[in-house]
A = this chain, B = another copy of it.
Amino acid sequence: MRRTSEDTKAAILAAARERFASDGYQRATIRAIAADAGIDPSMVMRYYGNKDGLFAAAADVDLRFPDLAALPRHTVGEALITHFLDRWEEDEGMMILLRTGVTDEAVAERMRGIFAAQLGSLTARLVTDPAQAPLRAGLAATQVLGMALCRYVLRLPPVAGMSRQEIIDWLGPTLQRYLTD
């Protein structure tokens, strides 16, 4: 056989992630994804059931936060933004979530879950007053997602043009304050 089914599945998934990331859910068509993967649209249905199934597979993303509580306390802000920038640039799933979560309530719900679980549990171990943990996690989320929005999605020139180090220097203290002050 020319290709194993796993290869094709992977090719479809890769094409899907690219399309979903750049076009969002609605404008990413099964036909376009199949064309990118070099196969017939019906193969997508065979392997992923339907468009929703394909999207679910493409949007399976993990923030992969390290344990900030293990770091020197005064460096957590910097560590958080550094990790987040890394994560954003290596994983198209981030873009998919943001692009689609804004118009699709189901994806928004998923993002709420992800941020509550991952950022929330992380701040819980960091914050002195545990009752404040969700609030502080939320504040950090606004700054960190706002940066992603302006830099990677909207591409506002001054933000897109900032160097990685500039971002860390400016946002690090902000996050530090949100998390530990």
Contacts and interface: CB of A to CB of B under 8 A. Distances in A.
How many A residues are at the interface, by size bracket? 35 or more
A104 B177 CA distance: 34
A112 B154 contact: yes
A119 to B, nearest CB: 9
Interface of A: 23-24, 26-27, 98-99, 101-103, 108, 111-112, 115-116, 134-135, 137-139, 141-147, 149-151, 153-159, 162, 166, 170-171, 173-174, 177-178
A170 B137 CA distance: 13
A23 B103 contact: yes
Given A135-B158, A138-B158, A139-B170, A103 B111 contact: no
A23 B139 CA distance: 26
